């Protein structure tokens, strides 16, 4: 899906260094510059909505997050000149790569495999063209693509065109596809729990009264309850159903009940998030959507140790884009809460477990009515 020059197509040493490129590109100091363009994309997109109406939230967020990804990850060349082509190619790539059959038989000569490979070739060609144009013109941009182009391995070797294209397709998948799923689940859960929706709205009211309509990186960090709402949605609907790890040496696991299990070297172990995130002695009433469980005084995600909460994986494989993911979902939902009255029209969505990255099944229909939580109104509350 991402090419043979990156991720699991290379040895562990190279893969670890490529992971470091992501960490450097997405560290807080570099994330700050993405807030303004994210806001511009969000405001421009929702300005097209009418005074009231009904939309498929999943489809709307998919399109918006592709716009944000094009702007912040891929750069203005894609956003301004190649968006439709890249959006179409990426949609084709993900639709034909995320079925379970693609995991079990990735090279089977099926129509799905051919569509996947054709889309990957098209995207790689587009990104290679952008890389060459930037290098020939000596133009430098503030986007993740530029960071990956400028990255170097520890021996001083720069990244190749094939590596950069593979890395950018991989981060595009993480930044757009998984964020579409998590932002949709966040909305579906919020709109199904009135008390949580009111608490999230109250938080926005306080921030508006304190800062006006301004939003920057530091203000996003103050949206602690909205953060917990997203985190709880990911606990209940992780974008990956399980993580797999190869055992390199024997070790023993001791359970709470005192039982011991010997895990032999060479075996593969699975860490299923759908079980880990629903253990009742860690998460009280795990089937209940309760963002407060992560708040001060409860902090249930720390009860069982540092790997109690695994929505963004952990250890050396921890997702380097966690802060970026929270940031863009906060930008979207803070805008929606401030500017629209929202109601979930369709029934709460079921999970499509046939996808490699589980997502809401079918449409998530939401009705909206435009409003404005202005500072002047808040002062009279």
Q: Is 319 marked as a binding-site residue?
A: yes
Tell me whether residue 305 is in a domain: no
Q: What's the confidence (pLDDT) of residue 20?
A: 93
Q: What's the confidence (pLDDT) of residue 102?
A: 74
Q: What's the confidence (pLDDT) of residue 376?
A: 42
Of the candidates 268, 200, 276, the one whose C-alpha atom is nearest the C-alpha of residue 238 is 276
* Residue 99 vs residues 85, 94, 149, 297, 315: alpha-carbon distances, Å: 23, 9, 31, 41, 27
Q: What are phi and psi of 249, to 5 degrees?
A: -150, 155
In which domain, by residue range, is 351 found?
7-238+311-378
Tell me whether residue 298 is in a domain: no
Q: What's the confidence (pLDDT) of residue 21?
A: 93
Residue 142 structure tokens: 């503030």
Tell me whether residue 58 is in a domain: yes
What is the number of domains present in the chain?
A: 1
Return the H-helix or E-strand segment holding 67: helix 57-69
Tell me whether residue 214 is in a domain: yes
Q: What's the confidence (pLDDT) of residue 374?
A: 55
Tell me whether residue 249 is in a domain: no
The DSSP annotation for 230-272 comes to HHHHHHHS-SSSEEEEE--S-EEEE-TTS-EEEE-TT-EEEEE
Tell me whether residue 294 is in a domain: no
Tell me whether residue 272 is in a domain: no
Low-confidence ranges of the chain (pLDDT < 50): 375-381
Q: Which residue has the tokens 């421009």?
A: 44
Is-contact 331 37, C-beta < 8 A?
Answer: no
Over 113-181, what HEC string results? HHHHHHHHHHHHHHHHHHHHHHHHHCCCCCCHHHHHHHCECCCCCECCHHHHHHHHHHHHHHHHHHHHH
Domain containing residue 358: CATH number: 1.10.630.10
Is-contact 267 293, C-beta < 8 A?
Answer: no
Q: What's the confidence (pLDDT) of residue 250?
A: 96
Is-contact 151 158, C-beta < 8 A?
Answer: yes
Tell me whether residue 306 is in a domain: no
Instruction: Calculate Rg over the CA atoms of the chain.
Output: 22
Cβ-proximal residues to 86 (8 Å cutoff; 6+ apart), any chain: 70, 74, 78, 123, 126
- pLDDT for 21-67, tens place per residue? 999 999 888 899 999 999 999 999 999 999 999 999 999 999 999 99
Q: What's the confidence (pLDDT) of residue 373?
A: 66
**CA angle at 302 for the pair 300 and 306, rounded to the nearest 5°:** 145
């Amino acid at each position: 899906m991402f090419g043979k020059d990156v991720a699991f197509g290379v040895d562990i040493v190279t893969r670890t260094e490529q992971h470091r490129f992501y960490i450097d590109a997405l560290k807080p100091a570099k994330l700050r510059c993405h807030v303004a363009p994210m806001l511009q994309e969000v405001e421009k997109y929702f300005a097209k909505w009418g005074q009231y109406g009904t939309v498929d939230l999943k489809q709307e967020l998919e399109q918006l997050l592709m716009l944000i990804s094009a702007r912040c990850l891929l750069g203005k060349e894609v956003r301004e000149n190649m968006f439709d082509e890249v959006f179409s190619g990426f949609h084709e790539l993900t639709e034909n790569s995320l079925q379970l059959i693609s995991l079990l038989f990735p090279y089977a000569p099926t129509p799905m495999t051919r569509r996947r490979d054709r889309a990957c070739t098209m995207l790689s060609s587009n990104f290679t063209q952008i890389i060459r144009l930037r290098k020939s013109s000596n133009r430098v941009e503030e986007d993740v693509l530029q960071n990956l182009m400028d990255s170097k391995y520890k021996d001083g070797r720069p990244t190749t065109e094939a590596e950069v294209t593979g890395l950018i397709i991989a981060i595009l998948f993480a930044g757009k596809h998984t964020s579409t799923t998590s932002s949709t689940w966040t909305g579906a859960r919020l709109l199904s729990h009135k008390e949580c929706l009111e608490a999230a709205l109250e938080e926005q009211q306080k921030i508006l009264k304190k800062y006006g309509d301004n939003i920057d990186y530091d203000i996003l960090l103050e949206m602690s309850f909205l953060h917990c709402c997203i985190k709880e949605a990911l606990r209940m609907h992780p974008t990956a159903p399980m993580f797999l790890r190869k055992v390199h040496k024997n070790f023993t696991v001791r359970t709470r009940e005192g039982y011991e299990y010997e895990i032999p070297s060479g075996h593969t172990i699975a860490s299923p998030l759908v079980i880990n995130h629903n253990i009742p002695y860690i998460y009280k009433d795990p089937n209940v959507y309760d963002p407060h469980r992560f708040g001060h005084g409860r902090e249930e995600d720390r009860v069982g140790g540092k790997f109690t909460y695994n929505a963004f994986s952990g250890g050396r494989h921890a997702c380097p884009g966690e802060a970026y993911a929270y940031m863009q979902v906060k930008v979207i939902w803070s805008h929606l809460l401030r500017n629209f009255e929202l109601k979930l029209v369709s029934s709460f969505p079921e999970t499509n477990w046939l996808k490699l990255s589980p997502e809401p099944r079918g449409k998530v229909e939401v009705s909206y009515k435009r409003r404005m939580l202005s500072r002047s109104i808040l002062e009279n509350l």
